[in-house]
Structure 1
Amino acid sequence: MNKKRRLALGIGAAIAPLLVVTVPAGSASAHGYISNPPSRQAQCAAGTVDCGPIKWEPQSVEGPKGLTSCSGGNSQFADLDDDSKGWKVTPVGSTASFSWQLTARHATSTWQYYVGGNKVAEFDDHGAQPGATVTHQVNFGGVTGKQKVLAVWNIADTANAFYACVDVNIGG
């Protein structure tokens, strides 16, 4: 093998690990969603509401951290952002348990719950990897009536989060 060819192979071998780290990977197709009370994507999967492609992959509502949409910014899941679709509203008390069904267990920074744009609860997992299900007891404080809860699962080792919206009637 000539000297130039060995040099080129050596440079290629040195750069390859950097490319693996710096080239963005496509998002995976399965992760997690709230199964109880039924989130909007759980209702889609069950056929309770007609929602398009989210029916086949309710666990895939992933997007950059910091979003406030039920779709996680995914245009193919825009039906989840439509408040007029006839979502089933679950009656809950001043506190409610939210159960996540996880199909891929990621290291987790936090789980956050918002009502009307205000954070009502946050659970810090400090990078732990959860099991196949996770349940949080959320206290709504003084919030009452029909509300849309935005739940966010922030992944510890990526810039992404998973999003779920749950329609509830607090105190109803």
Structure 2
Amino acid sequence: MPIRRKAAIAVVVGSPLLFMALTATPARAHGSLDKPVSRVLACYQEGPEHPASAACRAAVAVGGTQALYDWNAVRLGDAGGRSRQIIPDGKLCSAGVDEFKGLDLARADWPATPMSGGPFTFSYKATAAHKGTFELYITKDGYDPTKPLKWSDLEDQPFATATNPPLSEGSYTFSGNVPRRTGRHLIYSVWQRSDSPEAFYTCSDVVFGGGKQGGAAPAASAPSDRQLAAGAARSSMKDMPGMRPAANRPVPNGSAAEPRGTSLAETGSSGGTTALGLGGAAAVAVGCVVVLTGARRRAAGRNRS
């Protein structure tokens, strides 16, 4: 076979594998708002197995403890900027994902963060850095926390927006001016990735001074990094910094499911897949060189003879 033909075959065979390996990315883009703290993080801080507040105990009774261990996974892999179209009313806090349905409970006693109108620095706990835009919405005047949260309960436009904010010590930080409110309200965040259709969602309960408070509720607190690390082994997210991959486990409804985060369509390939891909691509590249070198040597030998 002519040298050029052998080289062409080697390149055709090797190029796709090399391309896939070089473009593979770890499945590690996850997080949740921790200032003001989201419902899922506030309940995690209380202890997934035995939450202290009535609202968090009710959420676990409905959705199970796994939802709290998977605090950074309230997401949709195919959102693509269509959050309002694909998340039904009444399911905004869970993003319509069954595992997190306990977060949708309409109650006036969710642990809440004291809030006032004006400048505020927000913090978003992230387990990986990715490009994207954060949008924060607040509930309108007259919001009733005892009714299921609907899109129409939120202002039409975000009051704070940040694209690719700085990431420091595991958290994104950005500023915004919080609208003036009284009583109990809710801040809803959408983190839409720009390198993937995947988006993440949080509900943060807040209480402004004055007005109707909507019932007694404990103050919300964010978990420490030590607390998050202590529960990392129970997370079903794979390839997270500080987290070990979890084996397949039953989802709350009892049906078998893969660990969240393993779908390439949702979050990209895992770090292990990347390593394997790069190793395979390297082997292919070496094989191409061997084929070309051997063919050239045989050709040179024939020419000398």
Aligned residue number for residue 159 of structure 2: 121
Q: Aligned runs of 1:94-109 on 2, under 5 Å?
A: 94-95=117-118, 96-108=120-132
For 1:120 and 1:11, the matched residues in 2 are separated by 49
TM-score (norm 2): 0.45
- Aligned residue type for 2:178: F
Q: Which runs of 4+ in 1 moved over 3 A?
A: 8-20, 27-30, 127-131
Q: Where in structure 1 are there 5+ consecutive unaligned residues?
A: 1-7
Q: Where in structure 2 are there 5+ consecutive unaligned residues?
A: 1-8, 85-91, 139-152, 211-305
For 2:93 and 2:114, the matched residues in 1 are separated by 20
Structure number with higher strand proportion = 1
Equivalent residue in structure 2 for 1:138, among 170, 173, 176? 176
- Aligned residue type for 1:164: T
Aligned residue number for residue 158 of structure 1: 196
Aligned residue number for residue 3 of structure 1: none
Bigger CA radius of gyration? 2
Give the deviation of 1:10 after TM superposition: 8.2
Matched, 1:43 2:51: no
Percent identity of equivalent pairs: 27
For 2:98 and 2:30, the matched residues in 1 are separated by 18
In the superposition, relative to structure 1, how do residues 86 and 165 fare at CA in structure 2: closer, same or farther (>3 Å)? Answer: same
* Secondary structure of 2:40 counterpart: helix
How large is the Cα RMSD of the aligned pairs?
A: 3.4
Structure number with higher helix proportion = 2
TM-score (norm 1): 0.74
More RCO (CA 8 Å, sep 6+): 2
Give the deviation of 1:75 after TM superposition: 1.2
* Secondary structure of 1:59 counterpart: coil
- Aligned residue type for 2:30: H
For 2:158 and 2:11, the matched residues in 1 are separated by 54
Give the deviation of 1:74 after TM superposition: 1.4
Indicate conservation of the 8 Å contact 2:186/2:204, yes or no. yes
Indicate conservation of the 8 Å contact 2:38/2:203, yes or no. yes
The C-alpha deviation readout for 1:50-74, integer Å capped at 9, x for no partner, is 3322211211111124425111221
